[in-house]
Structure 1
Amino acid sequence: MSRTVTAPTAATPTAPTPEPADAVDALELLSGDAQTFRAKVWASHVHIHYTDPADLVGLLSLDDVDHLLTSVALRTPALRVVKHGSVLPSSRFTRSATMAGSPLTGLVDARKVLDHFDDGATVVLQGLHRYWPPLTRLVRELELALGHPCQANAYLTPPGSQGFARHSDTHDVFVFQTHGRKQWEIVEGGEEREVLLEPGLSMYLPTGTPHSARSQEQTSLHVTVGINRLTWRQVLRSVTDRVLADERYDAPLPAGYLDDPAVLAEQLAEQLASYADGMRSVDAAVVADERAAAFLRERTPALRGGLTDRVGLDALGDETLLERRPTAACVLRPGEEGFEVLLGDRALRMPARLREPMTFVRDHPTLRVRDLAPWLDEQSRLVLVRRLVREGLLRIAG
């Protein structure tokens, strides 16, 4: 979705005084060194990193899971129950209810879930990035750091139990423990190794790494962040589809080729040569830019606090402290007229005269409205900032 922002007027420059922000880097948190991870670890081998346990436990604690199970109206498929390696039918842990006279189905029955847990079942909370704010932020930051879609699940396992037998996933994962300990058995390079996962340790497993895990003497809670790789096959297929959209490829195969395949072979050689020419004419830089832009405008919006911000818009003033919403991107790209600001779930079209103030917004995690005075008068900067709050790029910090 693209939106156009009306240009405010310019003002006399004054020196900006932004306040620094304390931002969490998701890839740094999980890998220890984002640059090294991208260059040397990504998609190649298992990686283990130790960090402050509080930083990981704060993302999803045992008490948080208690709250979700007992005090939130979860519905399937947000929760699964696994016993002896098999996923139980949802009918064994759900119930029906009504809301305002309308039926609700698939409602998680907390008592049934807890009873299954007592009986040795693993409880799986799925898609937590969609509704649990700390993991929403972690996943969004990880997506922006890697350029690949991510998701988050959690696994609550009773003492001495194993949810799934040894298996391998079709996506990369980061796993980290937030309660108890879990013994992992993984296979890398044909050799088995054991890793005891405990709070403070995160582990990266590339796609296809065989693994299994068993909780130890305590209840175990761990989070799995899945990374759904975008592959060269997907990109090349999209390029191929673009080339093959030429109407010349709608022509039928020659009649009678069943009796004389050489007729087909001759014309196929001509078509392959034409196809190869079409592929060579593709501008790789344009395709790469389009791929990145699509990723930065098609994510699901994450607008935690958006209502509070909108209610507070009327009180916005020159001294109001604002911060960039951590779940939003802020990427500036040239457009047909002016430029675009890619936010992760949409794109804003802006006139060229707003590039400098928007560059300032991009480069400063926090700012006060008055910091835009070098480029915009008071009324104009309030107009711009209010729009950025409404669009979800900025949020009111104080």
Structure 2
Amino acid sequence: MVAPATPTAPTPELEALDLLSGDARAFLRTAWASHAHIHKADPGDVVGLLSLHDVDHLLTSTALRTPALRIAQDGSVLPSASYTRSATIAGAPLTGLVDARKVVELFSGGATLVLQGLHRYWPPLTELIRGLEAALGHPCQANAYLTPPGSQGFALHTDSHDVFVFQTHGSKQWEIHDDGEQRDVLMEPGTSMYLPTGTPHAARTQEAASLHVTIGINQATWRQLLLRTVTGVLADPAFDERLPVGYPEDPTGLAGTLTERLRLLADQLATVDTFARADDEGRRFLTTRTPVLHGALADRLSVTALDDDTDLVRRTGSVCVVRSAADGDHVLLLLGDRELRLPVRLTPALEFLREQPRLRPSDLADWLDPTSRLVLVRRLVREGLLQVSA
């Protein structure tokens, strides 16, 4: 894959949402989870996330494998055998390899190409998804749809999750139903559209090729949090006792005992430390994201040469959240895909570092001596939070 240029500053949390909505704060206040929202951005800003040239490159010049590609035609998903081949690398078999010639022929014959999970392997979308997740607190994923000229649209339907859709090549006419009213939306390069869960929408037959990216927002819900909370309480061995013998024929007796167990469960739920549970939920989200590590090999090679005057930058899309540890002797640094447990004396330096898009180790002189600050920044370069500036 072709990596983007080395970033010079971290992406602010709301920048990705600003790009797709126009005004992130206004969007969250007036449209999020309630209304459709249309925004027209500078086409160059959106097309650069995934152009037709990029899709051509992925399909014809890389070792893309299924299930990263799905192909549909005439309303049916084609078997992967119709567009893949086998190969070997160093004598080991390689299956599910996308056959570029077969894919091009199928596209020419009217098939729609679906690139799945692009946030896992296409850097511009990896960074966009990381920014959206930071802004929303919900897991996101990215797929792209390339449809040939003359392809059929899809019938009116709803999705079980929120989506952002943005057009990067060609155009497509959409029909959406919002607040009981039908709206016709022409998607052109630079146009983005937000559809909350359950919004009916359809796309019409088109005469030109079209490429759009769909960002699926996999909501974190109260149901999920409550289930995790209740499951934690149910770990009490008291709930592992067997049901009484003969319960199938004695529903009255079982109902009485069930009432007692529900009271016990309610009593224990009332003692749950809600702040601790909320903190755990945030930590879970902030340590299970997809790593963003482009440039990490070069950083590892240069880390030993770092000195007090080396220019460093925060890696684009990086997460840096500082939290106190329960033991009082440590501070937690949440990095998106992992958690570091560091001595509590580093807290002021980490809080300063968190706010800096770029810095030198010498900038930490107020809190750390030369040796300590070099140890810290070298660790953070190895962990992927910091990069040596280009």
Give runs of aligned pairs for residues 26-37 of structure 1, distance below 5 A: 26-37=16-27
Pick closer, same or farther for the CA change 1:55–1:146 going to 2, 3 Å: same
Cα offset, 1:126, TM superposition: 0.7
Aligned to 1:99: 89
Give runs of aligned pairs for residues 333-344 of structure 1, distance below 5 A: 333-335=323-325, 336=327, 337-344=329-336
Give runs of aligned pairs for residues 1-398 of structure 1, distance below 5 A: 21=9, 23=11, 25-162=15-152, 164-214=154-204, 216-335=206-325, 336=327, 337-398=329-390
TM-score for both structures, normalised by structure 2: 0.93
Pick closer, same or farther for the CA change 1:42–1:356 going to 2, 3 Å: same
Is the contact between residue 160 and residue 214 of structure 1 (CA under 8 Å) also seen in structure 2? no
Give the whole-Å Cα distance in 2 for the aligned partners of 1:219 and 1:259.
66
Cα offset, 1:332, TM superposition: 0.4
TM-score for both structures, normalised by structure 1: 0.91
Cα offset, 1:357, TM superposition: 1.3
SS at match of 2:114: strand
Give the whole-Å Cα distance in 2 for the aligned partners of 1:259 and 1:159.
66
Give the whole-Å Cα distance in 1 for the aligned partners of 2:183 and 2:83.
36
Which moved further from structure 2: 81-90 or 189-198? 189-198
Q: Per-residue CA shift, 1:331-377, capped at 9, x if unaligned? A: 00001222100001111111122111111110011112222222223
Q: Per-residue CA shift, 1:39-73, capped at 9, x if unaligned? A: 33221121111211111011111111111111001
- Structure 1's unaligned 5+ residue stretches are 1-19
Give the whole-Å Cα distance in 1 for the aligned partners of 2:153 and 2:98.
19
Is the contact between residue 156 and residue 200 of structure 2 (CA under 8 Å) also seen in structure 1? yes
Q: CA RMSD in A?
A: 1.7
1:327 partner letter:
G
Cα offset, 1:170, TM superposition: 2.1
Pick closer, same or farther for the CA change 1:164–1:110 going to 2, 3 Å: farther
Cα offset, 1:21, TM superposition: 4.1
| Larger relative contact order (CA 8 Å, sep ≥ 6) | 1
Cα offset, 1:22, TM superposition: 7.1
Cα offset, 1:260, TM superposition: 3.8
Is the contact between residue 180 and residue 216 of structure 1 (CA under 8 Å) also seen in structure 2? no
Cα offset, 1:320, TM superposition: 2.0
1:171 partner letter:
H
Give the whole-Å Cα distance in 2 for the aligned partners of 1:141 and 1:396.
21
Is the contact between residue 122 and residue 163 of structure 1 (CA under 8 Å) also seen in structure 2? no
Give the whole-Å Cα distance in 2 for the aligned partners of 1:236 and 1:22.
34
Give the whole-Å Cα distance in 2 for the aligned partners of 1:287 and 1:103.
47
Give the whole-Å Cα distance in 1 for the aligned partners of 2:237 and 2:39.
53
Cα offset, 1:258, TM superposition: 4.1
Which moved further from structure 2: 374-383 or 276-285? 374-383
SS at match of 2:155: coil
Name the count of aligned residue pairs.
379
Q: Per-residue CA shift, 1:156-214, capped at 9, x if unaligned? A: 11123236433322221111001111111222334332111111211111122222224
